[in-house]
Structure 1
Amino acid sequence: MRIVEANFMESAQSIQDSPSPDKAEVAFLGRSNVGKSSLLNTLTNRKGLAKSSSTPGKTQLINYFNIKFKTDKEAMPFLYARFVDLPGFGYAKVSKSLKRDWNSNLTGYLEQRPCLQIFVHLIDSRHIGLEIDKNVDEFLKATKRGDQIIINAFTKIDKLKKNDLQKLKRNNPDGIFISNLKKQGVIDLQNKITEYLFGN
Protein backbone atom coordinates (compact mmCIF):
# COMPACT_ATOMS: atom_id res chain seq x y z
CA MET A 1 0.00 0.00 0.00
CA ARG A 2 1.33 3.46 -0.86
CA ILE A 3 0.25 7.08 -0.82
CA VAL A 4 -0.70 8.24 -4.32
CA GLU A 5 -2.37 11.57 -3.50
CA ALA A 6 -2.05 14.10 -0.69
CA ASN A 7 -3.83 17.43 -0.66
CA PHE A 8 -4.26 20.24 1.83
CA MET A 9 -7.90 20.34 2.93
CA GLU A 10 -8.30 23.17 5.44
CA SER A 11 -7.00 24.75 8.63
CA ALA A 12 -8.95 25.04 11.85
CA GLN A 13 -8.41 26.84 15.12
CA SER A 14 -10.17 24.20 17.19
CA ILE A 15 -12.30 21.08 17.07
CA GLN A 16 -15.38 23.30 16.66
CA ASP A 17 -14.40 24.55 13.20
CA SER A 18 -12.72 21.31 12.09
CA PRO A 19 -14.04 19.32 9.11
CA SER A 20 -16.65 16.61 9.52
CA PRO A 21 -15.13 13.57 11.28
CA ASP A 22 -15.91 11.22 8.40
CA LYS A 23 -12.43 9.76 7.82
CA ALA A 24 -9.87 8.14 10.08
CA GLU A 25 -7.27 10.69 11.20
CA VAL A 26 -3.58 10.42 12.04
CA ALA A 27 -2.31 13.30 14.20
CA PHE A 28 1.33 14.35 13.99
CA LEU A 29 2.55 16.24 17.02
CA GLY A 30 5.92 17.17 18.41
CA ARG A 31 8.11 19.85 19.86
CA SER A 32 8.71 22.83 17.61
CA ASN A 33 11.58 22.25 15.17
CA VAL A 34 11.39 18.45 15.49
CA GLY A 35 11.04 18.06 11.70
CA LYS A 36 7.28 17.52 11.53
CA SER A 37 6.64 19.39 8.27
CA SER A 38 9.63 17.75 6.60
CA LEU A 39 8.40 14.31 7.63
CA LEU A 40 4.88 14.96 6.31
CA ASN A 41 6.32 16.11 2.99
CA THR A 42 8.62 13.05 2.75
CA LEU A 43 5.86 10.65 3.81
CA THR A 44 3.44 11.97 1.18
CA ASN A 45 6.14 12.60 -1.45
CA ARG A 46 4.86 16.17 -1.76
CA LYS A 47 7.67 18.65 -1.27
CA GLY A 48 5.60 21.68 -0.29
CA LEU A 49 2.54 20.03 1.25
CA ALA A 50 3.25 20.99 4.86
CA LYS A 51 4.86 24.38 5.22
CA SER A 52 7.91 24.43 7.45
CA SER A 53 8.96 27.65 9.11
CA SER A 54 12.34 29.01 10.11
CA THR A 55 10.58 30.42 13.19
CA PRO A 56 9.94 27.60 15.69
CA GLY A 57 6.37 27.52 16.97
CA LYS A 58 4.95 29.64 14.18
CA THR A 59 2.27 27.13 13.10
CA GLN A 60 -0.73 27.77 15.34
CA LEU A 61 -3.54 26.10 13.40
CA ILE A 62 -4.69 22.49 13.05
CA ASN A 63 -3.96 21.63 9.41
CA TYR A 64 -5.88 18.82 7.68
CA PHE A 65 -4.64 16.88 4.64
CA ASN A 66 -6.63 14.35 2.61
CA ILE A 67 -4.59 11.21 1.89
CA LYS A 68 -5.33 8.61 -0.79
CA PHE A 69 -3.73 5.16 -0.59
CA LYS A 70 -3.39 2.69 -3.46
CA THR A 71 -3.95 -0.95 -2.53
CA ASP A 72 -3.36 -4.16 -4.46
CA LYS A 73 -6.99 -5.27 -4.08
CA GLU A 74 -9.28 -5.05 -7.10
CA ALA A 75 -12.41 -4.84 -4.97
CA MET A 76 -11.09 -1.79 -3.11
CA PRO A 77 -8.23 -0.21 -5.07
CA PHE A 78 -8.14 3.00 -3.00
CA LEU A 79 -8.47 3.82 0.69
CA TYR A 80 -8.66 7.22 2.33
CA ALA A 81 -7.60 8.89 5.56
CA ARG A 82 -6.51 12.29 6.85
CA PHE A 83 -3.16 13.40 8.20
CA VAL A 84 -3.40 16.20 10.75
CA ASP A 85 -0.49 18.57 11.35
CA LEU A 86 -0.82 19.95 14.88
CA PRO A 87 0.86 23.07 16.25
CA GLY A 88 4.33 22.44 17.64
CA PHE A 89 4.73 22.77 21.38
CA GLY A 90 7.51 24.60 23.18
CA TYR A 91 9.61 27.54 21.95
CA ALA A 92 6.62 29.48 20.61
CA LYS A 93 7.00 33.22 21.10
CA VAL A 94 3.33 34.07 21.49
CA SER A 95 1.38 35.98 24.09
CA LYS A 96 0.26 34.15 27.24
CA SER A 97 -3.43 34.50 26.34
CA LEU A 98 -2.86 33.13 22.82
CA LYS A 99 -0.76 30.28 24.19
CA ARG A 100 -3.53 29.43 26.67
CA ASP A 101 -6.17 29.36 23.90
CA TRP A 102 -3.80 27.43 21.64
CA ASN A 103 -3.13 24.77 24.29
CA SER A 104 -6.84 24.51 25.07
CA ASN A 105 -7.74 24.04 21.38
CA LEU A 106 -5.01 21.43 20.92
CA THR A 107 -6.12 19.51 24.02
CA GLY A 108 -9.75 19.66 22.84
CA TYR A 109 -8.79 18.10 19.51
CA LEU A 110 -6.67 15.35 21.07
CA GLU A 111 -9.25 14.41 23.69
CA GLN A 112 -12.52 14.79 21.79
CA ARG A 113 -11.98 14.10 18.08
CA PRO A 114 -13.98 10.90 17.47
CA CYS A 115 -12.24 9.86 14.23
CA LEU A 116 -8.69 10.30 15.58
CA GLN A 117 -7.07 6.84 15.45
CA ILE A 118 -3.31 7.35 15.67
CA PHE A 119 -1.07 9.76 17.56
CA VAL A 120 2.38 10.08 15.96
CA HIS A 121 4.57 11.68 18.63
CA LEU A 122 7.75 13.00 17.01
CA ILE A 123 10.81 13.14 19.24
CA ASP A 124 14.20 14.60 18.30
CA SER A 125 16.58 11.65 18.65
CA ARG A 126 19.37 14.00 19.79
CA HIS A 127 17.37 15.24 22.79
CA ILE A 128 15.81 12.21 24.48
CA GLY A 129 14.09 12.54 27.86
CA LEU A 130 13.12 16.20 27.72
CA GLU A 131 10.45 17.12 30.26
CA ILE A 132 8.13 18.47 27.57
CA ASP A 133 8.22 15.15 25.64
CA LYS A 134 7.65 13.18 28.85
CA ASN A 135 4.62 15.36 29.63
CA VAL A 136 3.17 14.84 26.15
CA ASP A 137 3.74 11.09 26.38
CA GLU A 138 1.97 10.93 29.76
CA PHE A 139 -0.89 13.07 28.45
CA LEU A 140 -1.37 10.87 25.38
CA LYS A 141 -1.34 7.67 27.45
CA ALA A 142 -3.94 9.14 29.82
CA THR A 143 -6.08 10.43 26.93
CA LYS A 144 -5.85 7.45 24.58
CA ARG A 145 -9.04 5.50 23.94
CA GLY A 146 -9.06 1.75 23.38
CA ASP A 147 -9.33 2.23 19.61
CA GLN A 148 -6.28 4.51 19.41
CA ILE A 149 -2.53 3.90 19.33
CA ILE A 150 0.55 6.02 19.97
CA ILE A 151 3.55 5.76 17.66
CA ASN A 152 6.81 7.25 18.93
CA ALA A 153 8.84 8.37 15.92
CA PHE A 154 12.41 9.48 16.56
CA THR A 155 13.61 12.05 14.01
CA LYS A 156 17.02 13.22 12.76
CA ILE A 157 18.75 9.88 13.38
CA ASP A 158 21.31 10.76 10.68
CA LYS A 159 22.81 13.18 13.22
CA LEU A 160 23.49 10.42 15.77
CA LYS A 161 26.64 8.35 16.20
CA LYS A 162 26.16 4.67 15.43
CA ASN A 163 26.47 3.63 19.10
CA ASP A 164 23.94 6.24 20.20
CA LEU A 165 21.47 5.07 17.56
CA GLN A 166 21.85 1.44 18.64
CA LYS A 167 21.24 2.45 22.27
CA LEU A 168 18.13 4.43 21.25
CA LYS A 169 16.75 1.42 19.40
CA ARG A 170 17.46 -0.90 22.33
CA ASN A 171 15.68 1.43 24.74
CA ASN A 172 12.69 1.97 22.42
CA PRO A 173 11.94 -1.39 20.76
CA ASP A 174 8.53 -0.20 19.49
CA GLY A 175 9.82 3.09 18.08
CA ILE A 176 10.18 4.19 14.47
CA PHE A 177 13.56 5.73 13.60
CA ILE A 178 13.55 8.40 10.93
CA SER A 179 15.93 10.43 8.81
CA ASN A 180 14.19 12.74 6.35
CA LEU A 181 17.56 13.51 4.83
CA LYS A 182 18.28 9.86 4.00
CA LYS A 183 14.60 8.82 3.78
CA GLN A 184 15.16 6.16 6.43
CA GLY A 185 12.25 4.82 8.48
CA VAL A 186 9.60 6.60 6.42
CA ILE A 187 8.22 3.39 4.88
CA ASP A 188 8.24 1.77 8.35
CA LEU A 189 6.06 4.60 9.63
CA GLN A 190 3.71 4.43 6.66
CA ASN A 191 3.33 0.67 7.04
CA LYS A 192 2.58 0.96 10.76
CA ILE A 193 -0.09 3.58 10.00
CA THR A 194 -1.77 1.64 7.19
CA GLU A 195 -1.69 -1.67 9.03
CA TYR A 196 -3.50 -0.12 11.99
CA LEU A 197 -6.04 1.84 9.91
CA PHE A 198 -6.80 -0.75 7.25
CA GLY A 199 -5.30 -4.09 8.34
CA ASN A 200 -2.92 -6.11 6.14
Structure 2
Amino acid sequence: MKIVDASFLTSAQSISDSPSPDKAEVAFLGRSNVGKSSLLNTLTNRKGLAKSSSTPGKTQLINYFDIKFKTQNEELPYLYARFVDLPGFGYAKVSKGLKKDWNRNLTGYLEERPCLQIFVHLIDARHPNLDIDTNVDEFLNTIKRGDQIIINAFTKTDKLKQSDLAKLKRAYPDGIFISNLKKRGMLDLQNAITEHLFGNQIF
Protein backbone atom coordinates (compact mmCIF):
# COMPACT_ATOMS: atom_id res chain seq x y z
CA MET A 1 0.00 0.00 0.00
CA LYS A 2 1.23 3.49 -0.75
CA ILE A 3 0.04 7.07 -0.77
CA VAL A 4 -0.77 8.09 -4.34
CA ASP A 5 -2.42 11.46 -3.74
CA ALA A 6 -2.47 14.08 -1.01
CA SER A 7 -4.20 17.44 -1.12
CA PHE A 8 -4.93 20.29 1.26
CA LEU A 9 -8.60 20.33 2.27
CA THR A 10 -9.10 23.21 4.71
CA SER A 11 -7.91 24.93 7.87
CA ALA A 12 -9.95 25.32 11.03
CA GLN A 13 -9.57 27.21 14.27
CA SER A 14 -11.31 24.57 16.36
CA ILE A 15 -13.41 21.44 16.17
CA SER A 16 -16.52 23.58 15.64
CA ASP A 17 -15.44 24.77 12.18
CA SER A 18 -13.69 21.55 11.17
CA PRO A 19 -14.87 19.50 8.17
CA SER A 20 -17.46 16.76 8.52
CA PRO A 21 -15.94 13.77 10.38
CA ASP A 22 -16.61 11.38 7.50
CA LYS A 23 -13.09 9.91 7.13
CA ALA A 24 -10.68 8.36 9.59
CA GLU A 25 -8.14 10.93 10.77
CA VAL A 26 -4.50 10.73 11.77
CA ALA A 27 -3.35 13.66 13.93
CA PHE A 28 0.29 14.76 13.84
CA LEU A 29 1.36 16.73 16.89
CA GLY A 30 4.60 17.81 18.47
CA ARG A 31 6.64 20.68 19.80
CA SER A 32 7.27 23.64 17.52
CA ASN A 33 10.26 23.03 15.27
CA VAL A 34 10.15 19.23 15.68
CA GLY A 35 10.00 18.81 11.90
CA LYS A 36 6.27 18.12 11.51
CA SER A 37 5.75 19.87 8.18
CA SER A 38 8.84 18.28 6.67
CA LEU A 39 7.69 14.86 7.81
CA LEU A 40 4.23 15.30 6.28
CA ASN A 41 5.74 16.44 2.99
CA THR A 42 8.14 13.49 2.88
CA LEU A 43 5.55 10.94 3.99
CA THR A 44 3.10 12.03 1.28
CA ASN A 45 5.83 12.66 -1.31
CA ARG A 46 4.34 16.11 -1.87
CA LYS A 47 6.87 18.89 -1.49
CA GLY A 48 5.18 21.97 -0.03
CA LEU A 49 1.96 20.19 0.98
CA ALA A 50 2.39 21.25 4.60
CA LYS A 51 3.81 24.72 5.01
CA SER A 52 6.55 25.20 7.57
CA SER A 53 6.89 28.57 9.22
CA SER A 54 10.21 30.33 9.71
CA THR A 55 8.86 31.45 13.09
CA PRO A 56 8.23 28.49 15.44
CA GLY A 57 4.77 28.62 16.94
CA LYS A 58 3.29 30.78 14.20
CA THR A 59 1.00 28.11 12.77
CA GLN A 60 -2.07 28.12 14.99
CA LEU A 61 -4.67 26.46 12.76
CA ILE A 62 -5.74 22.84 12.45
CA ASN A 63 -4.87 21.88 8.87
CA TYR A 64 -6.67 18.99 7.13
CA PHE A 65 -5.30 16.99 4.20
CA ASP A 66 -7.14 14.37 2.14
CA ILE A 67 -5.03 11.26 1.58
CA LYS A 68 -5.58 8.57 -1.07
CA PHE A 69 -3.96 5.13 -0.67
CA LYS A 70 -3.47 2.51 -3.41
CA THR A 71 -4.04 -1.02 -2.12
CA GLN A 72 -3.20 -4.48 -3.45
CA ASN A 73 -6.88 -5.44 -3.34
CA GLU A 74 -8.41 -5.41 -6.84
CA GLU A 75 -11.91 -5.24 -5.40
CA LEU A 76 -10.99 -2.24 -3.22
CA PRO A 77 -8.16 -0.51 -5.10
CA TYR A 78 -8.23 2.78 -3.17
CA LEU A 79 -8.79 3.75 0.45
CA TYR A 80 -9.06 7.21 1.93
CA ALA A 81 -8.19 9.00 5.16
CA ARG A 82 -7.22 12.44 6.43
CA PHE A 83 -3.96 13.63 7.89
CA VAL A 84 -4.34 16.48 10.36
CA ASP A 85 -1.48 18.88 11.07
CA LEU A 86 -2.01 20.30 14.54
CA PRO A 87 -0.47 23.50 15.93
CA GLY A 88 2.93 23.05 17.55
CA PHE A 89 2.83 23.22 21.32
CA GLY A 90 5.11 24.68 23.94
CA TYR A 91 6.34 27.83 22.25
CA ALA A 92 6.97 30.54 24.86
CA LYS A 93 6.59 33.64 22.66
CA VAL A 94 2.91 33.10 21.98
CA SER A 95 0.91 35.55 24.06
CA LYS A 96 -0.80 34.15 27.15
CA GLY A 97 -4.29 34.94 25.86
CA LEU A 98 -3.65 33.36 22.49
CA LYS A 99 -1.96 30.33 24.04
CA LYS A 100 -5.00 29.75 26.26
CA ASP A 101 -7.37 29.72 23.26
CA TRP A 102 -4.88 27.74 21.20
CA ASN A 103 -4.48 25.05 23.84
CA ARG A 104 -8.23 24.89 24.42
CA ASN A 105 -8.91 24.36 20.71
CA LEU A 106 -6.13 21.79 20.42
CA THR A 107 -7.38 19.88 23.46
CA GLY A 108 -10.96 20.04 22.17
CA TYR A 109 -9.93 18.43 18.89
CA LEU A 110 -7.90 15.69 20.57
CA GLU A 111 -10.61 14.81 23.09
CA GLU A 112 -13.77 15.22 21.05
CA ARG A 113 -13.10 14.46 17.37
CA PRO A 114 -15.07 11.23 16.77
CA CYS A 115 -13.19 10.11 13.64
CA LEU A 116 -9.71 10.57 15.13
CA GLN A 117 -8.03 7.16 15.08
CA ILE A 118 -4.29 7.74 15.48
CA PHE A 119 -2.15 10.20 17.43
CA VAL A 120 1.32 10.54 15.89
CA HIS A 121 3.39 12.24 18.59
CA LEU A 122 6.58 13.62 17.05
CA ILE A 123 9.54 13.84 19.41
CA ASP A 124 12.97 15.30 18.65
CA ALA A 125 15.35 12.33 18.88
CA ARG A 126 18.03 14.57 20.37
CA HIS A 127 15.78 15.50 23.31
CA PRO A 128 13.57 12.47 23.99
CA ASN A 129 12.88 13.08 27.66
CA LEU A 130 11.60 16.65 27.84
CA ASP A 131 8.86 17.21 30.40
CA ILE A 132 6.53 18.69 27.79
CA ASP A 133 6.66 15.51 25.66
CA THR A 134 6.21 13.31 28.72
CA ASN A 135 3.18 15.38 29.70
CA VAL A 136 1.70 15.09 26.21
CA ASP A 137 2.13 11.31 26.24
CA GLU A 138 0.46 11.09 29.64
CA PHE A 139 -2.42 13.28 28.43
CA LEU A 140 -2.93 11.22 25.26
CA ASN A 141 -2.97 7.98 27.24
CA THR A 142 -5.56 9.52 29.57
CA ILE A 143 -7.96 10.52 26.78
CA LYS A 144 -7.29 7.66 24.33
CA ARG A 145 -10.33 5.61 23.39
CA GLY A 146 -10.19 1.87 22.82
CA ASP A 147 -10.22 2.31 19.04
CA GLN A 148 -7.30 4.77 19.04
CA ILE A 149 -3.53 4.27 19.13
CA ILE A 150 -0.55 6.48 19.90
CA ILE A 151 2.55 6.31 17.71
CA ASN A 152 5.72 7.88 19.05
CA ALA A 153 7.85 8.95 16.07
CA PHE A 154 11.33 10.29 16.80
CA THR A 155 12.48 12.89 14.26
CA LYS A 156 15.93 14.14 13.24
CA THR A 157 17.60 10.79 13.91
CA ASP A 158 20.26 11.62 11.31
CA LYS A 159 21.66 14.11 13.84
CA LEU A 160 22.43 11.32 16.33
CA LYS A 161 25.52 9.18 16.59
CA GLN A 162 24.81 5.53 15.82
CA SER A 163 25.48 4.59 19.44
CA ASP A 164 22.97 7.19 20.66
CA LEU A 165 20.39 6.02 18.12
CA ALA A 166 20.84 2.42 19.26
CA LYS A 167 20.36 3.53 22.87
CA LEU A 168 17.18 5.40 21.92
CA LYS A 169 15.79 2.35 20.14
CA ARG A 170 16.43 0.21 23.21
CA ALA A 171 14.68 2.76 25.41
CA TYR A 172 11.64 3.00 23.08
CA PRO A 173 11.20 -0.42 21.44
CA ASP A 174 7.79 0.55 20.04
CA GLY A 175 9.00 3.85 18.60
CA ILE A 176 9.43 4.75 14.95
CA PHE A 177 12.68 6.47 14.04
CA ILE A 178 12.53 9.14 11.36
CA SER A 179 14.96 11.09 9.24
CA ASN A 180 13.31 13.49 6.80
CA LEU A 181 16.70 14.22 5.28
CA LYS A 182 17.45 10.57 4.51
CA LYS A 183 13.78 9.50 4.19
CA ARG A 184 14.43 6.93 6.89
CA GLY A 185 11.49 5.40 8.76
CA MET A 186 8.77 6.71 6.44
CA LEU A 187 7.67 3.25 5.33
CA ASP A 188 7.55 2.08 8.95
CA LEU A 189 5.33 5.02 9.85
CA GLN A 190 3.06 4.58 6.86
CA ASN A 191 2.67 0.84 7.57
CA ALA A 192 1.80 1.50 11.22
CA ILE A 193 -0.86 3.99 10.11
CA THR A 194 -2.44 1.84 7.38
CA GLU A 195 -2.44 -1.33 9.49
CA HIS A 196 -4.47 0.38 12.20
CA LEU A 197 -6.80 2.25 9.85
CA PHE A 198 -7.50 -0.47 7.34
CA GLY A 199 -6.31 -3.81 8.73
CA ASN A 200 -6.91 -6.68 6.33
CA GLN A 201 -8.60 -4.43 3.76
CA ILE A 202 -5.19 -3.58 2.32
CA PHE A 203 -4.47 -7.10 1.05
**Matching residue's letter, 1:81:** A
Does residue 153 in structure 1 map to residue 126 in structure 2? Answer: no
Aligned partners of 2:187, 2:92: CA distance in 1, in Å? 30
What is the rounded CA distance, in whole Å, between the counterparts of 1:54 and 1:92 in structure 2? 16
Contact 1:7–1:65, Cα closer than 8 Å, also in 2: yes
Query: Which residue is equivalent to 2:127?
Result: 127
Q: 1:92 to 1:69 in 2, by over 3 A?
A: farther
Q: TM-score, length-normalised on structure 2?
A: 0.97
> 3-state DSSP class of the match of 1:199?
helix
Pairs within 5 Å for 1:155-174: 155-174=155-174
The 5 A counterparts of 1:3-42 are: 3-42=3-42
Determine the structure 2 residue equivalent to 1:184. 184
In structure 2, what is the Cα distance between the partners aligned to 1:93 and 1:18? 26
Work out whether residues 27 and 116 of structure 1, in 8 Å CA contact, stay in contact via their aligned partners in 2: yes
| Aligned residue number for residue 59 of structure 2 | 59
| Structure 1 residue ranges without an equivalent (≥5) | none
Deviation (angstroms), 1:54: 1.4
Matches within 5 A, 1:76-115: 76-115=76-115
Query: 1:56, 1:92 within 8 Å by CA — same for their partners in 2?
Result: no
- What does the per-residue CA deviation read over 1:96-127, in whole Å, with 9 as the maximum and x for residues that have no partner? 11110000000000000000000000000001
Percent of aligned pairs with the same residue? 82
CA distance in 1, matches of 2:163, 2:188: 21
Give the Cα separation in 2 of the matches to 1:93 and 1:21.
Answer: 32
Offset, 1:72: 1.1
Give the TM-score of the pair, scaled to structure 1: 0.99
Supply the distance in 1 between the matched residues of 2:2 and 2:39 (Cα, whole angstroms): 15
Structure 1: how far apart are the matches of 2:92 and 2:69? 34
Asked whether 1:140 is paired with 2:140, we answer yes
Q: Measure, in 1, the Cα distance between the counterparts of 2:138 and 2:53.
A: 27
Residue in structure 2 matched with residue 48 of structure 1 by the alignment? 48
Instruction: Give the 3-state SS of the residue equivalent to 1:169 in structure 2.
Output: helix
The residue type equivalent to 1:175 in the other structure is: G
In the TM superposition, structure 1's runs of 4+ consecutive aligned residues that sit over 3 Å from their partners are: none
8 A Cα contact 1:154 1:178, kept in partner: yes
**Residue aligned with 1:89, SS:** coil
Looking at structure 1, the residues matched to 4 and 49 of structure 2 have their Cα atoms a distance apart, in angstroms, of 13
Cα shift at 1:78: 0.3
State the 1:92 CA deviation: 4.8
Partner of 1:197: 197
RMSD: 0.6
